[in-house]
């Protein structure tokens, strides 16, 4: 492995097959670093200078540190824990032709479906099981080569290489077993959860590719891995967050990870939920701040929405904007869109650019080709709940939404350095319109 950052990033990606494992891994690391877990269902008693984190739905997380003195604002990053995949239905087993059993799935997010064909797959997520008179949640990972989605042979469709439509309900059901063992999948899931099959009440399980992350290229300058979008930004922002502890500011740094971005963020643990504003409100209340003091603190806050960006494709440069097309290993990307699909404006773009200049981090700019509208991300959704200046950024990558994506090794290092510098500062609106990064 080329360097420590690459090793740790790939370890995090490999050990986070779903959003649930990603949040569990982050929670474990935060505990080891002295962050106290909070529960939303309990009263919070926070201390100035304290370190805390809270989760929602086992798939979203907000970690924060409080300044020792007066809290003057919030410095936030937001990324997402989910990636495009396939979700298993509750009654998953489907008897199929050829005396086989497949598993019933539906698409989660906009996956490049053909990238999932003909490779070993497995299943991970969480299950809800009976526990006394109640229900308990258990994370599971089958963690072996269990499934495959076989292609139709080219001999049966000679037009295969000219483009063939794939139907999620027909072509994307993974092959599980030979027929003859009804209920085998449910028993396998129950075994992974450490319970009997009759104790499983419901499941939230997803397919994941067994291909581990790796470095490729002549000088190992590229990373190829599942779930770069967006666990790479999660890892880099987290690393910058914990490494900035030695640079305390008068603002509270918040590291935010939301689930369900790939399906619109409209869940109780998504960016379009009350999770962020609830957390900020409870911080201010616990510190005894008035509504007016809270408003002033929010006004002097800033958010980085970190979700990966499209690099120019080596074979298809025609899909990129001629002037704003990022390259791998060229630096952190600032994303712009006139319709505010990305929330970057002149102010937030300038602030982030200046921050990166001071930190020695190169930046690139990205706009979709004007006739090819792109998707939205976390920034404008979160901003509707906590209205602070926000910049949309990301790391350049290829094959976005494939089950194996490609990024640049240096870019991860650049974002860690930018996040470290960001979390060590405070954002201030001066009376004369001047912006200060203190």
| Domains, the chain | 4-83+226-437 (3.40.630.10), 85-209 (2.30.250.10)
What 3-state class would DSSP assign to 418? Answer: helix
Residue-wise DSSP of 347-395: HHHHHHHHHHHHHT--EEEEEB-TTS-----HHHHHHTTS---EEEEE-
pLDDT at 75: 96
Output phi, psi for 164, to 5 deg: -130, 130
Q: If you compute the radius of gyration of the chain from its CA atoms, what whole number of angstroms results?
A: 23
- Nearby residues of 294 by Cβ (< 8 Å), 6 or more positions away: 280, 281, 284
Output the CA torsion sign for 257, 258, 260, 265: negative
Output phi, psi for 103, to 5 deg: -110, 135
Looking at beta carbons, which pairs linking 276-283 to residues 24 or more positions away fall under 8 Å?
276/62, 276/76, 276/78, 276/382, 276/385, 276/386, 277/385, 277/386, 278/40, 279/54, 279/62, 279/64, 279/254, 280/74, 280/254, 280/386, 282/44, 283/44, 283/46, 283/64, 283/66, 283/71, 283/252
pLDDT at 18: 98
Residue 384: C-alpha distances to residues 83, 277, 333, 348, 381 (Å)? 23, 10, 23, 16, 6
pLDDT digits (tens), the chain, 438 positions:
457 999 999 999 999 999 999 999 999 999 999 999 999 999 999 999 999 999 999 999 999 999 999 999 999 999 999 999 999 999 999 999 999 999 999 999 999 999 999 999 999 999 999 999 999 999 999 999 999 999 999 999 888 888 889 999 999 999 999 988 889 999 999 999 999 999 999 999 999 999 999 999 999 999 999 999 999 999 999 999 999 998 888 999 999 999 999 998 989 999 999 999 999 999 999 999 999 999 999 999 999 999 999 999 999 999 888 888 899 999 999 999 888 888 999 999 999 999 999 999 999 999 888 888 777 788 878 878 888 999 999 999 999 999 999 999 999 999 999 999 999 998 888 777 788 888
């Amino acid at each position: 492995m080329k360097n420590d950052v690459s090793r740790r990033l790939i370890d995090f990606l490999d050990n986070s097959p779903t959003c649930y494992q990603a949040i569990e891994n982050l929670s474990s690391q935060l505990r080891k670093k002295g962050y106290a877990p909070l529960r939303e269902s309990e009263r919070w008693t926070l201390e100035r200078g304290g370190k805390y984190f809270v989760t929602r739905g086992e798939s979203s997380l907000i970690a924060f540190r409080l300044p020792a003195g007066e809290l003057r604002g919030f410095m936030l990053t937001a990324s997402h824990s989910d990636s495009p995949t396939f979700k298993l239905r509750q009654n998953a087993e489907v008897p199929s032709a050829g005396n086989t059993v497949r598993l019933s799935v539906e698409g989660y997010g906009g996956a490049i479906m053909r990238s999932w064909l003909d490779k070993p797959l497995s299943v991970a997520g969480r299950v809800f099981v009976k526990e006394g008179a109640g229900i308990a949640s258990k994370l599971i990972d089958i963690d072996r080569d269990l499934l495959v989605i076989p292609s139709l042979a080219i001999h049966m469709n000679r037009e295969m290489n000219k483009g063939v439509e794939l139907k999620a309900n027909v072509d994307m059901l993974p092959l599980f077993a030979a027929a003859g063992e009804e209920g085998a999948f449910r028993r396998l899931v129950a075994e992974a959860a450490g319970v009997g099959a009759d104790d499983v009440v419901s499941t939230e399980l997803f397919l994941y590719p067994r291909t581990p992350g790796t470095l490729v290229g002549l000088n190992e300058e590229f990373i190829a891995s599942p779930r770069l979008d967006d666990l790479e930004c999660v890892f880099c922002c987290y690393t910058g967050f914990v490494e900035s502890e030695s640079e305390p500011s008068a603002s509270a740094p918040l590291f935010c990870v939301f689930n369900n971005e790939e399906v619109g963020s409209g869940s109780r643990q998504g960016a379009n939920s009350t999770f962020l504003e609830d957390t900020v409100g409870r911080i201010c209340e616990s510190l005894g701040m008035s509504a007016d003091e809270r408003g002033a603190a929010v006004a002097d806050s800033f958010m980085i929405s970190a979700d990966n960006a499209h690099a120019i494709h080596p074979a298809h440069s025609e899909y990129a904007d001629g002037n704003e097309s990022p390259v791998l290993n060229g630096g952190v990307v600032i994303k712009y869109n006139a319709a505010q699909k990305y929330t970057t404006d002149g102010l937030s773009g300038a602030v982030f650019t200046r921050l990166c200049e001071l930190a020695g981090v190169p930046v690139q700019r990205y706009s979709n080709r004007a006739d090819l509208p792109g998707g939205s991300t976390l920034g404008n959704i979160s901003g509707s709940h906590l209205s602070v200046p926000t910049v949309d950024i990301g790391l350049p990558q290829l094959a976005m939404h494939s089950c194996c994506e490609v990024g640049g090794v240096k870019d991860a290092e650049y974002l860690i350095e930018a996040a470290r510098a960001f979390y060590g500062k405070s954002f201030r609106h001066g009376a004369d319109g001047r912006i200060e990064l203190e």
